[in-house]
Amino acid sequence: MHAEMITILCVTIIVAQVALVEWKRRHHRSYQLVTLAGMWIIPVVISLKNQWWRFIFFWLLFSCITGLVVRKALEKPIQGTTPRLVYKWFYFIYKLSYALGLMGYVMMLATFFGLNLVFDVKPKSMMDIAVLFIFYGLYYGVLGQDIAEISSDKMASHIGYYSKEGIPSRHLDSNVCAVCGNKLLVATDEEGVLENTYKLTCDHVFHEFCIRGWCIVGKKQTCPYCKEKVDLKKMFCNPWEKPHVLYGQLLDWLRWLVAWQPIILGLVQGIIYVLGLE
């Protein structure tokens, strides 16, 4: 590689990095949207070029389901079951990505210590699977986190506007959820198999995922039924809010690697081609 080409590469990376940092600081929303679009589109374009069909299959599956969920979140008036649906889907993606990343990390450590020999697996094959798990976990974890944040912002802006079919009647029965209007599965003092039932200080009861969706995804700190002020943050932890500093830096690095690095390298190749240095 010519010295001029190395200089162009270094200068372009530095200028691009400074520009991205300033863009993120001054216009965070537009930076987030463009980065999310790059994270979503660029990997599948590269996969189509290299015929990585497995990634394309999971990408299509994730995109179709997430697209339907986001469409529900953007509806106005919003349906009573929407906060539950949005929360359950993105919480599932969060848990799945966390599990995949952890499995990949454990498999990588096992390969380093030679434990793959116990299962008669070649080190390269074990390491390939570990890296694949970590990539899938981080990639879909980042996409899920970013899309959940955008969906929650949209829902929070109009979550108080329900359709007539989306809320229960004012004569609320004791065994009906005050968000979705459907029957409660268990009593508040019973341990549920699928989900528990919660009662707020205003004595209104809810399905666990309905009230989690209302307060976490919808960013509301009031009772969905009577609008009484309730400190729901003490009851429920938001898995997408304020990640650990190192983990947050890792996610930012992954966004740069997947969304912006291909664009920067393409820009470098364009400059080299225009200057005739190839």
Cα 105 from Cα 250, distance rounded (Å): 14
CA atoms within 13 A on the CB side of 20: 19
pLDDT score of 172 more than 90: no
- Classify residue 31 by burial, with Cβ atoms within 10 Å: 0-12, 13-18, 19+: middle
Q: Would you state the pLDDT for residue 68?
A: 93
More confident residue, 2 or 98: 98
Q: Would you state the pLDDT for residue 218?
A: 66
Quickly tell me which residue has 């459907």 as its tokens.
182
Cα 240 from Cα 94, distance rounded (Å): 8
What percent of the chain is predicted at pLDDT more than 70? Answer: 79
More confident residue, 239 or 90: 90
**Residue 205, φ and ψ in degrees, nearest 5:** -115, 155
- Mean pLDDT for all residues in the chain: 79
| pLDDT band, residue 242 (cuts 50/70/90) | low
Q: Would you state the pLDDT for residue 161?
A: 47
Cα 92 from Cα 239, distance rounded (Å): 11
CA atoms within 13 A on the CB side of 202: 16
**Among 250, 252, 221, which residue's Cα sits nearest to residue 235?**
221
**Residue 176, φ and ψ in degrees, nearest 5:** -120, 135
pLDDT score of 278 more than 80: no
Amino acid at position 123, single letter = P
Q: Would you state the pLDDT for residue 121?
A: 64
* pLDDT tens digit sequence for 91-117: 888 889 888 988 988 888 888 777 666
Q: Would you state the pLDDT for residue 65?
A: 95
Mean pLDDT of 171-193: 75
| pLDDT band, residue 158 (cuts 50/70/90) | low
Q: Would you state the pLDDT for residue 162?
A: 47
**Among 129, 127, 137, which residue's Cα sits nearest to residue 58?**
137
Q: Would you state the pLDDT for residue 179?
A: 77
* pLDDT tens digit sequence for 15-73: 888 888 888 888 888 888 888 899 899 999 999 999 999 999 999 999 999 999 999 88
What percent of the chain is predicted at pLDDT more than 90? Answer: 11
**Residue 183, φ and ψ in degrees, nearest 5:** -65, 140
Q: Would you state the pLDDT for residue 123?
A: 65
CA angle 95, 97, 100 (to 5 degrees): 110
Cα 4 from Cα 275, distance rounded (Å): 10
Q: Would you state the pLDDT for residue 243?
A: 56
pLDDT score of 232 more than 80: no
* pLDDT tens digit sequence for 244-256: 555 656 777 788 8
User: Which residues does residue 78 pair with via DSSP β-bridges, in sequence order?
Assistant: 162
Q: Would you state the pLDDT for residue 194?
A: 75
pLDDT score of 241 more than 80: no
Q: Would you state the pLDDT for residue 165?
A: 44
Per-residue burial over 100-129, b if 16 or more Cβ lie within 10 Å, else e, is bbebbeebbebbeeeebeeeebeeeebbeb
pLDDT score of 164 more than 50: no
